[in-house]
Structure 1
Amino acid sequence: MATKRIVDVEEESSDSGSGSGRPVKRQRPIVGPDCPGFEEMTKLQCMDSIPRIIEPFLRKVVREEVDRILSCYRNFLPRTSSVKQIADARRSRRWQLRFRKKLPATVFAGTKLEADDNSVIEVSMIDTFSSAIVTTGDLSAIKIEILVLDGDFGQEDWTQEEFNGNLVHERDGKRPLLAGDLSVLLREGSGVFGDVNFTDNSSWTRSRKFRLGLRAVESSSVVKEAVSGAFMVKDHRGELYKKHHPPALTDDIWRLEKIGKDGVFHRKLVENGISTVQDLLRFLVVNEDKVRSMFGSGMSNRTWETIVQHAWECWIENIPFCYYNLSQLQLYFNSILQPVGVKFHGSYYQPYSDLNLQDQALVNKLKLLAYINQKDIVPIGLLDFPGHH
């Protein structure tokens, strides 16, 4: 195959210097390493391509650095994990009122409102950016009002209009739902309820429950309200049948969960000599299976476990009982017949926990005799108890 040659293009031009008028051959410009300025052109092209090459790398570095800075900032915003969330938090009301403790699931009209643990209800002003109590500034000493909300108002976030739209007022012809000290003055960002109580039950509402709400008397546009959990309000007469937590030894047995007053379980227990919480605990110590068999299949295991667990919440009084076993020793029991100590004749009183295994085995054997002959277990005064100092 013949090699293709680059043909020079002939162009006529007049050479004023030669005056010969002959045609002159002009070659096309040479492009390549031998071309003048090729090196400079290459450098310019490289410079143009550098941004396209390193742009992804720079984006990655910038993103990592921004994430690092935000991770430090998140230490002060524990519930905020993205730039969008931070922006949303800034647009919302930064300060919020909060209940410090839960309210009980059931309260009674006419009874002072308390927290679930029977303590005073505490409230605070919170900076939602840091979750810290606002202890200084005007917002740390504002007055807040106590309000009643519908039990169905349970969303996690709300607007001021939604809060106000769910307020509940008294029924026609009734007194205001709340009575007493219906405002709290914050000091260093915290305050407590005074004597506040409901005047009516919640059975007439759709949810049959209420919630408590807190609202700043002033600055409500920048302070978000507080909303408690839902709870039921019963008439004061319902307190007559209220379960006690914890129960007392002298409480009637129907004060325990799952045992209704004058109900089937209540009557069955009374028929078997169990009328108080103390009676039940004594029976449980002596022979729990016997007590359980009183109900048979008429009581589920779950119901039984609930009753027993509630009974054991009782504070056990340290009232000793003394059992004389012939001439060998004296066994001492607490108020529910648990052995607490022993006194061998000719020796001193020893707590049950201090006995060696052999003596504990003897006590456990003799206590069964005492349980069989409970009429011989005689209560003694605390000052006469050998372990008392």
Structure 2
Amino acid sequence: MAGKRFFEDFDSDLQKPTEKRMKSRPSFASVIGEVIMVNSLNNLCSALEPLIRKVVNEELERGLKRRSSSFRIEAQETPTLKLIFSKKLAQPIFTGSKITDVDKNPLEIQLVEMKNGSFVKVNLNRLIKLDIVALHGDFPTGNSGENWSSEEFESNIVKERDGKRPLLAGEVTVIVRNGVGTISDIEFTDNSSWIRSRKFRIGAKVARGSCQDVRIREAMTEAFVVRDHRGELYKKHHPPMLEDDVWRLEKIGKEGAFHKKLSAEGVNTVQDFLKLSIVDPPRLKMIMGPGMSEKMWEVTLKHARECVMGNKFYIFRGPNFFLVLNPICQVIKAVVDGHIFPARDITTINRSYLEGLVRQAYTNWSSLEEIEGTLNEPALLTQGDSMVQQHGVNHTDVGRSNQQTGSGLENWEMVNGGYGSTPVELGFRFSITESYSQGEFSSF
């Protein structure tokens, strides 16, 4: 019995450590369960990640909207004071060329405030320093009008391209005194073709550290294109001047076919072009050739006729005639056989005879007598009695011409009361003034 118990006790002792070891090892099922749990957590995190991101983004957007809303409220609170450019710019604008206002004066900036619907200049009794900058031409955008913030203004300042000079050269800092600042010298160093709107504006803002105790709205000009300076060499003039090269006219390119044809015939200036268009239009069209269509011809001629005539007159004298012509060979006064013909009566002269005289004047243009004057005091008034002596015109002739031609000098006796000079002088004076004011010019 004792031996049996011994073996039983021995067997039980052997089983006890095994049972402990079995209890300390995780079961296969528990391992599988843990793996499944970890995978489930990973899947859950993956599933929750987009949702969490969405929530975070929405909160961020709300915060940004609240901030931008506060900015808008701040921007919509229109400052009492503002800067303005007093006049628009003269255009076109080229790189390297001084920018002026429409009256060719330096740009002027004024400090103003709105009172009773209009701007009133303000003097803060202190100096205000301004920075002059270039802006994008499409700023401000939309319907915001002038409701921009300082941050928006700053973000629309255009800087120079890499490797280029500063975009604005000259006076980029201006001092406002007594409510006015002047930009005497400013120019662009680069064209505007490379920015999104293809246009610039010039802006003016209070410099940092100047006038910090009051908000002053920035000023800006209208949007404009800046072209390369080389384009100015080929630009057309509006209106053209008499002494301009003929290629300044529309449809006639510099060194182009039309330009070469005209130059070969001695038509080098706008004045030459206009004179020939008056004296011999068919010849002028023949010089231009079939390459100039009727539509192109009309455009060129219209542009040429916008020319500023100036205050010069030309005298063509002969044995029994005396013609006064304007700079493009139009007759504005004639004395033929002692009879005075103002512009409106030129058509009463024999057309063939007058055409012949005008052609002679055109052919001998360089030898004509050139005089200068104004509408009120043309130099014809200085011609004196020599004019009368050369053509044998006297008081009797003038009276006869009035009766025969109805030249419009019927009120001569009333106007000339007590006048010591010849009637011919006064007749010319009235005719020139009247002709220019009414545009009564005849081709011959």
Shift of the 352–315 alpha-carbon distance from structure 1 to 2, 3 Å rule, reads same
Q: Distance in 2 between matches of 1:261 and 1:300?
A: 20
Paired residues of 1:253 and 1:274 also in contact (CA < 8 A): yes
Q: 2:271 aligns with which of 257, 275, 278?
A: 278
- Residue 375 of structure 1 is matched in structure 2 by 363
- Residue 224 of structure 1 is matched in structure 2 by 217
Shift of the 190–366 alpha-carbon distance from structure 1 to 2, 3 Å rule, reads farther
Matched to 2:363, the amino acid is K
Secondary structure of the corresponding residue to residue 127 of structure 1: strand
Q: Distance in 2 between matches of 1:268 and 1:154?
A: 50
Structure 1 residue 238 corresponds to structure 2 residue 238 = no
Aligned-pair identity in percent equals 37
Using the TM superposition, give the Cα deviation of residue 252 of structure 1 relative to its aligned residue in structure 2, in angstroms: 0.7
Using the TM superposition, give the Cα deviation of residue 112 of structure 1 relative to its aligned residue in structure 2, in angstroms: 1.1
Q: Distance in 2 between matches of 1:240 and 1:173?
A: 26
- Residue 66 of structure 1 is matched in structure 2 by none
Using the TM superposition, give the Cα deviation of residue 181 of structure 1 relative to its aligned residue in structure 2, in angstroms: 1.5
Shift of the 144–277 alpha-carbon distance from structure 1 to 2, 3 Å rule, reads same
Structure 1 residue 94 corresponds to structure 2 residue 80 = yes
* 1:45-71 alpha-carbon deviations (Å, 9 max, x no partner): xxxxxxxxxxxxxxxxxxxxxxxxxxx
Using the TM superposition, give the Cα deviation of residue 370 of structure 1 relative to its aligned residue in structure 2, in angstroms: 2.6
Q: 1:254 aligns with which of 232, 247, 258?
A: 247
Matched to 1:375, the amino acid is T
Q: 1:191 aligns with which of 170, 181, 203?
A: 181
Q: Distance in 2 between matches of 1:322 and 1:195?
A: 45
* 1:299-342 alpha-carbon deviations (Å, 9 max, x no partner): 474x55553444334332444334345x3312121221121333
Using the TM superposition, give the Cα deviation of residue 172 of structure 1 relative to its aligned residue in structure 2, in angstroms: 1.8
Using the TM superposition, give the Cα deviation of residue 104 of structure 1 relative to its aligned residue in structure 2, in angstroms: 3.7
Shift of the 199–90 alpha-carbon distance from structure 1 to 2, 3 Å rule, reads closer
Paired residues of 1:148 and 1:213 also in contact (CA < 8 A): yes
- Residue 94 of structure 2 is matched in structure 1 by 108
- Residue 148 of structure 1 is matched in structure 2 by 134
Using the TM superposition, give the Cα deviation of residue 167 of structure 1 relative to its aligned residue in structure 2, in angstroms: 0.5
Q: 2:109 aligns with which of 123, 136, 150?
A: 123
| TM-score (norm: length of structure 1) | 0.64
Using the TM superposition, give the Cα deviation of residue 149 of structure 1 relative to its aligned residue in structure 2, in angstroms: 0.8
Structure 1 residue 164 corresponds to structure 2 residue 154 = yes
Q: Distance in 2 between matches of 1:305 and 1:223?
A: 52
Shift of the 271–198 alpha-carbon distance from structure 1 to 2, 3 Å rule, reads same
Q: Distance in 1 between matches of 2:152 and 2:92?
A: 25
Structure 2, unmatched stretches of 5+, are: 1-72, 373-377, 383-444
Paired residues of 1:320 and 1:379 also in contact (CA < 8 A): no
Secondary structure of the corresponding residue to residue 164 of structure 2: coil
- Residue 191 of structure 2 is matched in structure 1 by 201
Paired residues of 2:312 and 2:326 also in contact (CA < 8 A): yes
Using the TM superposition, give the Cα deviation of residue 92 of structure 1 relative to its aligned residue in structure 2, in angstroms: 1.6
Matched to 1:162, the amino acid is E
* 1:267-312 alpha-carbon deviations (Å, 9 max, x no partner): 45445553211112213333557656746685474x5555344433
Using the TM superposition, give the Cα deviation of residue 111 of structure 1 relative to its aligned residue in structure 2, in angstroms: 1.5
Q: Distance in 2 between matches of 1:117 and 1:300?
A: 36
- Residue 119 of structure 2 is matched in structure 1 by 132
Paired residues of 1:100 and 1:124 also in contact (CA < 8 A): yes
- Residue 81 of structure 1 is matched in structure 2 by none
Structure 1 residue 339 corresponds to structure 2 residue 327 = no
Using the TM superposition, give the Cα deviation of residue 105 of structure 1 relative to its aligned residue in structure 2, in angstroms: 4.2
User: Over aligned residues, Cα RMSD in angstroms?
Assistant: 3.4
Q: Distance in 2 between matches of 1:184 and 1:295?
A: 55
- Residue 175 of structure 1 is matched in structure 2 by 165
| TM-score (norm: length of structure 2) | 0.57
What does 1:4-23 align with in structure 2 at a 5 Å threshold?
Answer: none
Paired residues of 1:104 and 1:231 also in contact (CA < 8 A): no
* 1:227-268 alpha-carbon deviations (Å, 9 max, x no partner): 212222233333222333443211111223443222344345
Using the TM superposition, give the Cα deviation of residue 366 of structure 1 relative to its aligned residue in structure 2, in angstroms: 4.0
Q: Distance in 2 between matches of 1:154 and 1:318?
A: 47
Paired residues of 1:203 and 1:209 also in contact (CA < 8 A): yes
Q: Distance in 2 between matches of 1:364 and 1:318?
A: 27
Paired residues of 1:332 and 1:339 also in contact (CA < 8 A): yes
Paired residues of 2:203 and 2:218 also in contact (CA < 8 A): yes
Matched to 1:159, the amino acid is S
Secondary structure of the corresponding residue to residue 169 of structure 2: strand
Q: Distance in 1 between matches of 2:263 and 2:203?
A: 44
Shift of the 243–306 alpha-carbon distance from structure 1 to 2, 3 Å rule, reads same
Matched to 2:192, the amino acid is S
Secondary structure of the corresponding residue to residue 380 of structure 2: coil
Q: Distance in 1 between matches of 2:228 and 2:93?
A: 9
